[in-house]
């Protein structure tokens, strides 16, 4: 029985003879030039974690009964939480726009015999999915359907 592959199995046992310059932090990192949006994109992770735990609290309170759910709705009506949700919504839209622009470029040219659709079609498809899923869910939650 073969053992599981070690993640570093293919790395050389000792450094090569070609000398390389030591890695250096780019001068503009992390908040200037093109690194600003990169850092901002990474920072949205904090808000996604917050949103996940916020949604967990909401669902937990929904399962705890009417009083807990109505208490949550009163909390959500306070200005600081509305502001936080607006900031989170802006972050989510920023992530969606950036990721959906990146996604078509990150596709392999070919997977076996299959080729991915042209980038504009893939891009449009992602936006269509976003509009359908978000719009559908928003309609359900807002009482428009069901």
Tell me if 119 sits within 8 A of 105, measured CB to CB: yes
Q: Assess 26 for contact with another protein (CB under 8 A).
A: no
Nearer to another protein, 45 or 118 (CB): 45
The H or E element spanning position 94 is: helix 79-105
Query: Residue 21 CB, nearest distance to another protein (Å)?
Result: 17
The candidate with the shortest Cα–Cα distance to 119, out of 131, 105, 108, 100, is 105
Q: Assess 22 for contact with another protein (CB under 8 A).
A: no
- Selected from 93, 101, 117, 121, the binder of another protein by CB under 8 A is 93
Nearer to another protein, 15 or 146 (CB): 146
Nearer to another protein, 1 or 113 (CB): 1
CA trace torsion 115, 121, 123, 128 (10° rounding): -120
């Amino acid at each position: 029985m073969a053992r599981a592959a070690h993640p570093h199995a293919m790395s050389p046992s000792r450094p090569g003879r070609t000398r390389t310059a030591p890695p250096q932090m780019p001068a503009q990192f992390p908040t200037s030039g093109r690194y600003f949006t990169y850092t901002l994109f990474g920072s949205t992770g904090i808000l996604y974690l917050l949103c996940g735990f916020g949604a967990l609290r909401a669902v937990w309170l929904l399962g705890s009964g009417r009083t807990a759910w109505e208490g949550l709705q009163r909390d959500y009506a306070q200005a600081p939480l509305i502001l936080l949700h607006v900031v989170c919504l802006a972050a989510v839209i920023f992530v969606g726009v950036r990721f959906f622009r990146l996604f078509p470029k990150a596709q392999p040219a070919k997977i076996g015999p299959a080729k991915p659709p042209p980038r504009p079609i893939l891009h449009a498809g992602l936006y269509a999915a976003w509009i359908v899923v978000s719009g559908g869910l928003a309609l359900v939650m807002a009482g428009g359907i069901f």
